[in-house]
Amino acid sequence: MKQSLHSATLSNGIILVGERLPDLESVAVAFHSPAGSIHDPVGTCGLATVAGEMCLRGAGVRDSRQLVEDLESAGVQWSQGVSSTHASFSGAMVARHLPDVLPIYADILRRPLLPEDELPAARQMVLQNLAGIEDDPAHRAIAALRRIHCPAPWGMPTEGISADVESISIDDVRGFVGHHLQPGGMIVSVAGRIDWDDFVRRVDDLLGDWPAVSSAAVGVGPRGPFIHHVPHDSQQTHIALAWSVPPYRDDASHEATAALAILGGGPSSRFFTEIRERRGLCYSVSAGYQTSRDFANAVCYSGTSAERAQETLDVMLAEIGRLPGTISPDELGRVKARAKSGLTMQQESSAARAGAIARQWYHLGRLRTLAQELERYDRLDVAGVEGWLADQPPRDLTVVSLGRDPLEVRCAIPA
Amino acid sequence: MKQSLHSATLSNGIILVGERLPDLESVAVAFHSPAGSIHDPVGTCGLATVAGEMCLRGAGVRDSRQLVEDLESAGVQWSQGVSSTHASFSGAMVARHLPDVLPIYADILRRPLLPEDELPAARQMVLQNLAGIEDDPAHRAIAALRRIHCPAPWGMPTEGISADVESISIDDVRGFVGHHLQPGGMIVSVAGRIDWDDFVRRVDDLLGDWPAVSSAAVGVGPRGPFIHHVPHDSQQTHIALAWSVPPYRDDASHEATAALAILGGGPSSRFFTEIRERRGLCYSVSAGYQTSRDFANAVCYSGTSAERAQETLDVMLAEIGRLPGTISPDELGRVKARAKSGLTMQQESSAARAGAIARQWYHLGRLRTLAQELERYDRLDVAGVEGWLADQPPRDLTVVSLGRDPLEVRCAIPA
């Protein structure tokens, strides 16, 4: 299959990446602006999230309601989200609607109204989400893990902290949007039935004369303790573990993600087989890979009953400790087969491809073809994964439990 | 776009439906067997779910582990699930693997080992899931709604009841599988890069000589009360509402789903605009359509804080009561645009299409082309939706609250 990947840089620094998938009827577009929660000033944790929410409450000539209605009238499946690094505005639609929809996104980015009278409702919505999270102990356990494992501001909760959110003013929002919703570091990705040259021309017309401002670097604080218990009165206990692994842009991330997939990446993984299938200790158990540009973490999770929590943690730690030196060609073969199958099927979704090429550019500063990605998997072998594990065995684990009783970390793994 | 839809019936009654999507590299296949939880005998609620779980623990010549490993080695993204009506086994894969994968599914259906020594772990996993649901109040509110709104066995929880699951024996499982995992009523759906004639031949070879047995009809019991409060000590309150609407196979379901989409089907819906955006009462609020073959329900949900719960319920009921006589062409236009866009984009996913054609056959006994589906939306107009609402306005609502305090149902809607 011939693949048509494109990239371009506007004069103000905005990066455009695209993939033409001519067999599709749809197109997916996403605007990733570097207005993520790592820029939340101390004491206003949640500001990026409130700002992202406010950007949709009217922009250009459209008020809050008109904006949403115009996107929906064009049949756009749209979404808005804020991560630690980016505020993202995206939409998937039947391809012919793209020319009418791009100016709406340009208004959201450049001319959000940020009306003061909408702030109480926007803030209230963020607070309601936070209240809902109180009822979601799995989410709370992972958030607590992140908060102590990652140095501030990386570990702070993107969704905010209630007391901080309550204090956010319209000046905070306008200041944040003015500083961070800007061309420098912005990535616009598009995939599907597109005419690339026409797309670049349209985005350049809409965003090309938007002046870049320089942004301040983010200072990094200390990390938290390695072991932490969150008291929670429930029959269930939630366990979350993390340790550091190479970020995506590091070549060794390929070996790291394969090792984590063998550990807990699916129904034939060791966690699943040993903890869920054989011992019936829990319903959900997993290990995964979470990467930022400059660092990455292995993150493991299990939700289980209070009585089985200690055994579950013991077995998770034992399986992590047992990983180096025991990778079999069969289990690596399954991981490779699943990953390659996933890559091939990803080519069938404009939204998945728009997301993938934006991530690649952010992490690597370039795009990889499907052929290159598949070839990387062909090269991946047991010796490589074992070599990486010997070099960087899991260590310095952060362990969080959320439940009735603290757990004992009986650990063969160096801490 | 020319669409190639196919159907066939094997001599033992198994229905095959398929769609060729030659631009895709993938194929998705699903086996829907009529072994759903409505067949759980009284006192063994959860048996269908335990049986579905046991079917994957070895089949034919493969033990539990080998079965999963062989699916994963072929890069199959597989899943197994039990609903009130069906046990479904499905997988998406790169098309060339289909011939090797079909015999594995045939073994799961016809020759599950159902080993006694795996039962404790399988049962334990189902129990762990139930314990996890205790920590998920939104799920509990919807389950409580279903249980009182739908007559038994339709309202019983597919995921089971702990005391019942603990008592399930291997004889229960083997009896259930023998009675219900059978050709009569089975639908096999496939979509993607397929050769239809070859697919029919292969499935006929694998399943065609499987003798059909007759299955007993399901008796229907009484429904529960209309208003119910579940005490739950939390800052959050969860509200769930239901009333009866026409099932999918009824032509009027088209008007009903449009009316529900206007009420609470997305970010420009009335619930979203009035309750979430304008009043900031909650983070999540929705109205949706849930259909069985012979009946269907409108189901509304909101999760909010205890203090705002009464106002949230009041506004939800007011919006439901206000629906007849107030549909605007603009809001119907947006619903149509989104639905048509969704239909077009669905053509790009083999898994979505395999699911859609199986559902169509189950509900209608035939397949609709994309052109027919789009044309139905073109015909949909305000007069039709208002006509249906005038005929069948929302009434006899079932109202469930889960939280600290019971709510008052101050209702302009006839009960």
CATH number at residue B86: 3.30.830.10
Question: pLDDT value at position A373?
Answer: 94
Question: pLDDT value at position A156?
Answer: 95
- Are A271 and A392 contained in the same domain? yes
pLDDT above 80 (res A138): yes
Beta carbons of B302 and B280 less than 8 angstroms apart: no
Question: pLDDT value at position B267?
Answer: 87
Condensed to tens digits (0 to 9), the pLDDT of residues B20-64 reads 999 899 999 999 999 999 999 999 999 999 999 999 999 999 999
Query: Residue B25: which domain range?
Result: 4-207
pLDDT above 90 (res B107): yes
- Are A261 and A348 contained in the same domain? yes
Q: Could you tell me what percentage of chain A is helix, strand and coil, using 3-state DSSP and rounding each to the nearest 5?
A: 45, 20, 35
**Binary contact (A337, B281; C-beta < 8 A):** no
Condensed to tens digits (0 to 9), the pLDDT of residues A349-389 reads 999 999 999 999 999 999 999 999 999 999 999 999 999 99
Question: pLDDT value at position A2?
Answer: 76
ipTM of the complex: 0.87
**Binary contact (A135, B303; C-beta < 8 A):** yes
Final residue of a structural domain among A175, A207, A239 = A207
Which of B56, B69, B72, B104 to mutate to test binding with chain A, by most A CBs within 10 Å of its CB? B72
3-state secondary structure of B224: coil
**Binary contact (A75, B122; C-beta < 8 A):** no
- Are B202 and B339 contained in the same domain? no
**Binary contact (A284, B132; C-beta < 8 A):** yes
Distance from CA of A134 to the nearest CA of B (A): 8
**B329 → chain A, closest CA residue:** A73
Question: pLDDT value at position B213?
Answer: 83
Amino acid at A174: R
The sign of the torsion formed by the CA atoms of B170, B174, B177, B179 equals negative
Question: pLDDT value at position A338?
Answer: 92
Distance of CA B162 to the CA centre of its chain: 22
Question: pLDDT value at position B135?
Answer: 84
Question: pLDDT value at position A410?
Answer: 84
Over chain A, what is the mean pLDDT?
94
Question: pLDDT value at position A215?
Answer: 75
Distance from CA of A336 to the nearest CA of B (A): 8
In a domain, A413, yes or no: no
- Are B48 and B127 contained in the same domain? yes
Final residue of a structural domain among A207, A240, A264 = A207
Mean pLDDT within B103-112: 98
What are the φ/ψ torsions at residue B28 (nearest 5 degrees)? -120, 135
pLDDT category, A162, cuts 50, 70, 90?
very high
pLDDT category, A267, cuts 50, 70, 90?
confident
Condensed to tens digits (0 to 9), the pLDDT of residues A301-349 reads 999 999 999 999 999 999 999 999 999 999 999 999 999 999 988 988 9
In a domain, A356, yes or no: yes
**A269 → chain B, closest CA residue:** B69
Question: pLDDT value at position A412?
Answer: 57
Condensed to tens digits (0 to 9), the pLDDT of residues A42-84 reads 999 999 999 999 999 999 999 999 999 999 999 999 999 999 9
In a domain, A386, yes or no: yes
- Are A27 and A133 contained in the same domain? yes
In a domain, B398, yes or no: yes
**Binary contact (B125, A235; C-beta < 8 A):** no
Looking at chain A, the whole-number percentage of residues with pLDDT higher than 90 is 88
Question: pLDDT value at position A41?
Answer: 95
Amino acid at B395: R
Question: pLDDT value at position A1?
Answer: 56
Looking at chain A, the whole-number percentage of residues with pLDDT higher than 70 is 99
pLDDT category, B2, cuts 50, 70, 90?
confident
- Are A74 and A202 contained in the same domain? yes
Question: pLDDT value at position A135?
Answer: 84
In a domain, A74, yes or no: yes
Final residue of a structural domain among A207, A239, A266 = A207
Task: Pick the more confident residue, B228 or A283.
Answer: B228
pLDDT above 60 (res A91): yes
- Are A135 and A247 contained in the same domain? no
Residue A26 backbone zone (phi > 0: left; psi -120 to 50: alpha; other: beta): beta
Report the run of H or E that residue A310 belongs to, with start and end: helix A309-322
Amino acid at B185: G
pLDDT above 70 (res B414): no
pLDDT above 70 (res B1): no
**Binary contact (B235, A134; C-beta < 8 A):** yes
**A68 → chain B, closest CA residue:** B268
Residue of B73, B123, B345 with shortest CB distance to A334: B73
Beta carbons of B3 and A25 less than 8 angstroms apart: no
- Are A149 and A274 contained in the same domain? no
pLDDT above 60 (res A414): no
- Are B174 and B283 contained in the same domain? no
Report the C-alpha gap between A279 and B221 in whole angstroms: 38
Report the run of H or E that residue A373 belongs to, with start and end: helix A370-379
Question: pLDDT value at position A216?
Answer: 73
- Are B184 and B235 contained in the same domain? no
In a domain, B214, yes or no: no
In a domain, A215, yes or no: no
| Count of other CB atoms within 10 angstroms of residue B23 | 14
**Binary contact (B280, A236; C-beta < 8 A):** no
Which of A341, A370, A374, A377 to mutate to test binding with chain B, by most B CBs within 10 Å of its CB? A341
Looking at chain B, the whole-number percentage of residues with pLDDT higher than 90 is 88
Report the C-alpha gap between B91 and B101 in whole angstroms: 9
Which of B179, B92, B267 minimizes the C-alpha distance to A73? B267
As to burial, measured by CB atoms within 10 angstroms (0-12 exposed, 13-18 middle, 19+ buried), residue B217 is exposed
Place of tokens 């009462």: B281
Question: pLDDT value at position A353?
Answer: 95
Residue of B73, B135, B283 with shortest CB distance to A128: B283
- Are B174 and B261 contained in the same domain? no
What own/partner pairs with CB < 8 Å and gap ≥ 24 does A387-393 have?
Answer: A387/A255, A388/A252, A388/A255, A388/A256, A388/A259, A389/A255, A389/A259, A389/A323, A389/A324, A389/A325, A389/A327, A390/A324, A390/A325, A392/A245, A392/A246, A392/A252, A392/A256, A393/A323, A393/A324
pLDDT above 70 (res A295): yes
Residue of A64, A277, A344 with shortest CB distance to B277: A64
Residue of A1, A278, A348 with shortest CB distance to B26: A348
Beta carbons of B147 and B182 less than 8 angstroms apart: no
Question: pLDDT value at position B413?
Answer: 60
Lowest mean pLDDT among A212-221, B120-129, B227-236: A212-221
Domain count, chain B: 2
- Are A239 and A135 contained in the same domain? no
**Binary contact (B25, A344; C-beta < 8 A):** yes
Alpha-carbon separation of residue B315 from B16, B241, B271, B274, B281 (angstroms): 46, 13, 8, 8, 10
pLDDT above 90 (res A253): yes
Condensed to tens digits (0 to 9), the pLDDT of residues B285-311 reads 999 999 999 999 999 999 999 999 999
Amino acid at A249: R
Mean pLDDT within B317-337: 96
Question: pLDDT value at position A413?
Answer: 60
Mean pLDDT within B379-400: 96
Question: pLDDT value at position A134?
Answer: 86
pLDDT category, A150, cuts 50, 70, 90?
very high
Question: pLDDT value at position A372?
Answer: 94
Which residues from A are below 8 Å from B354, CB to CB? Answer: none
pLDDT category, B215, cuts 50, 70, 90?
confident
In a domain, A341, yes or no: yes
Residue of A120, A138, A281 with shortest CB distance to B280: A120
Over chain B, what is the mean pLDDT?
94
Question: pLDDT value at position B134?
Answer: 86
